[in-house]
Amino acid sequence: MALLSLRGLVAGYGGITAIKGIDIDVDEGEIVTLIGSNGAGKSTTLRAISGLVRPRSGTVAFDGAAIDRLPVHEIVKAGISQVPEGRGIFHRLTVYENLQLGAFQRSDAGVASDYERVFALFPRLRERARQTAGTLSGGEQQMLSMGRALMARPRLLLLDEPSMGLSPILVDAIFATIRQIREQGATILLVEQNALMALEVADRAYVIESGLITLKGAGAELAKDDSVRRAYLGEA
Amino acid sequence: MTPLFLASTEVWLDQLVNGLTTGSIYALIALGYTMVYGVLQLINFAHGEVFMLGSFAGYGTLVALGGNDLSGGMVAVALILAFLAAGGASLGTAVAVERVAYRPLRNAPRLAPLISAIGVSVLLSHLVDDGFLNGGAKFYPQIFPDGDIELGPLQVTYLQLFLMGSSLAMMGVLYWIVQQTKTGRAIRAVAESRDNAALMGVNVNRTIVVTFALGAVLAGFAGVLYGLFFSSIRGSMGFLPGVKAFTAAVLGGIGSIPGAVVGGYFLGLTETVGRELLNEIPGVNLPNQWKDVIAFALLVLVLIFRPTGIFGQKESKRA
Ligand SMILES: Nc1ncnc2c1ncn2[C@@H]1O[C@H](COP(=O)(O)OP(=O)(O)O)[C@@H](O)[C@H]1O
Ligand SMILES: [Mg+2]
């Protein structure tokens, strides 16, 4: 049984239907990527999973239980953390306070060692722990957003375009971190416009167009698919 | 040697103490406006009535415990109970108002909760004035020990000292809660972005209620101090201090906690010391009521020249 499974998911905003009946499965330990162009409905899919947008129909099941009627904070508690598009850090709080918020739902003894784990993954965050997060560079903010999500010890990590707006060197660093996190046993649903890198790191992939899944398969397979190469990998 | 000012040193120091005294009350009330604005971008115009009901709860407690007959150690006990009752009544009022008048309108256009806030404000003040007091007023028992401290020309009554000191202590506690506790972090996170706070696992509705509650307890506390200091209380008593505390919050930069405190003291001092300064102009002799004119002139000037206030931040970036 899949850890996360979306069935016939429909969601939108006011008069707009942004996703129009989506089926996606993510198994424990997998990296699954959802790729598609701007406005295709990727963020809406993640927002619907996290409960920030209420599905109009369809279901979201996590670990076998329906979560699509739960409030957002209960979904986090169930084990799903999201690194939202644009990073969503709290600019006026310190780096350390941002990380503390990541562990908001936890009271177990492992929190202290998880700060160390995050600082080991992102040494820059340790250096800047007492700084307000708004003073960080874009790349550091992305690291903070990912580190903060890891502080929740999620069973499923949702990443919304972590490479957006970053220089090629930083993009490489972010993807290296994603590999590192997966080696530590994480399950990840990764949304990207940077299809090349996403397909490289992913076990399986879905392609979304105008709110519908148009292709799915193993990451390496889709990377070879002609239509994918034309549409997303910038080939003629 | 001709004196620099027409007014004597004693008058100036008196005005300074008066300014800090009323400023303390403005600051306590202003904190509630600014915190609720911080998390909801809503001006809680019923906040003056939250203050008023706290004042009445404190009054009822003091009267029930013996009123003017209280003496000795019982005064301290009665005061503590009055503060607790006031905090509780204000908290209950604010939480009920949030639930009934604001939450159902959370996603309505911004004007809707503003109008419902004004409606609640008018309802509560008239309910007390016309429903219970028939236009009359109540008078706080005069139980606070008389006497004052004199340091040269400076004269401060025990009540003024208590008022200023306890206000500072309350603000200190609030500051600690907001800056150092998990609840405080949640409040600050919700103030920056409700969605992103929810993604951290913060229960946003609960945090909003807690924010109302914290502001309300401070307002209830201020209500008792007001009653002890000015004695007469009525249903409409929340209006002027409410609007002035709002002014103080805007002065300081609405949404900013240090701003509300600085704005409160600044407004208190401007009303008293500021009026005295104007009176130094030959031929000018403004009576005490002019303090209100000065306060609102200040509000208008701030809104024109620095609408974000002293500590104001630009609207935070929202994803
Ligand atoms: N808050 C919103 N209000 C209205 N429409 C929105 C909102 N967010 C996204 N949309 C629309 O929904 C569609 C899908 O958007 P989104 O899920 O953000 O796409 P993607 O993440 O793939 O770029 C787009 O047409 C977009 O314009
Ligand atoms: Mg998007």
DSSP state of A186: -
Which band of pLDDT confidence, cut at 50, 70 and 90, is reported for residue A225? Answer: confident
Whether the Cβ atoms of residue A51 and residue A127 lie closer than 8 Å to each other: no
Taking an 8 Å cut-off on Cβ atoms, the answer to whether B198 and A52 are in contact is yes
High-pLDDT (> 70) share of chain B, %: 97
Longest dimension (CA), chain A: 54
B192 closest CB neighbour out of A50, A90, A148: A90
- On whether any CB of chain A is under 8 Å from the CB of B197, the answer is yes
Element (DSSP H or E) covering residue A189 = strand A188-192
Q: Domain residues of chain B, as ranges?
A: 27-243
Distance, in angstroms, between B313 CA and closest chain A CA?
10
Residue nearest atom 18 in ligand 1 by C-alpha distance: A43
pLDDT at B55: 97
A236: Cβ below 6 Å to ligand 1?
no
A211: Cβ below 6 Å to ligand 1?
no
Query: A116: number of CA atoms within 13 Å, CB side?
Result: 4
Closest ligand 1 atom to Cα of A191: 21
Element (DSSP H or E) covering residue A142 = helix A138-150
- What mean pLDDT value characterizes chain B? 91
- On whether any CB of chain B is under 8 Å from the CB of A152, the answer is yes
User: And the tokens for B170?
Assistant: 């309350």
Report helix, strand or coil for A73: helix
Confidence check: pLDDT of B1 > 70: no
Average pLDDT over residues A80-104: 97
DSSP state of A71: -
- On whether any CB of chain B is under 8 Å from the CB of A73, the answer is yes
Question: What's this model's pTM, rounded to 2 decimal places?
Answer: 0.92
Distance, in angstroms, between A98 CA and closest chain B CA?
9
The per-residue pLDDT for range B278-296, each reduced to its tens digit, is 888 888 888 878 888 888 8
Distance, in angstroms, between B294 CA and closest chain A CA?
34
Taking an 8 Å cut-off on Cβ atoms, the answer to whether B188 and A148 are in contact is no
- What mean pLDDT value characterizes chain A? 93
pLDDT at B3: 64
The per-residue pLDDT for range A49-81, each reduced to its tens digit, is 999 999 999 999 999 999 999 999 999 999 999
Instruction: Round the CA-based radius of gyration of chain A to a whole number and report it.
Output: 17
Strands A65-66 and A57-62: antiparallel
The per-residue pLDDT for range A26-46, each reduced to its tens digit, is 999 999 999 999 999 999 999
The per-residue pLDDT for range B116-163, each reduced to its tens digit, is 999 999 999 999 999 888 888 999 999 988 889 988 888 899 999 999
- On whether any CB of chain B is under 8 Å from the CB of A153, the answer is no
A91 closest CB neighbour out of B182, B192, B200: B192
Contacts of B290 (CB under 8 A, 6+ apart): B275, B278
Reported ipTM: the value is 0.95
Confidence check: pLDDT of B11 > 80: yes
Taking an 8 Å cut-off on Cβ atoms, the answer to whether B199 and A88 are in contact is yes
Which band of pLDDT confidence, cut at 50, 70 and 90, is reported for residue B319? Answer: very low
Average pLDDT over residues B240-261: 93
How crowded is residue B258: how many other Cβ atoms within 10 Å of its Cβ? 14
What residues of chain A lie within 8 A of the CB of B189, using their CB?
Answer: 90, 93, 101
Mutate to test the interface with B, among A104, A130, A151 (most CBs of B within 10 A): A104
Structure-derived torsion over alpha carbons of residues A162, A165, A170, A172, reported in degrees to the nearest 10: 60
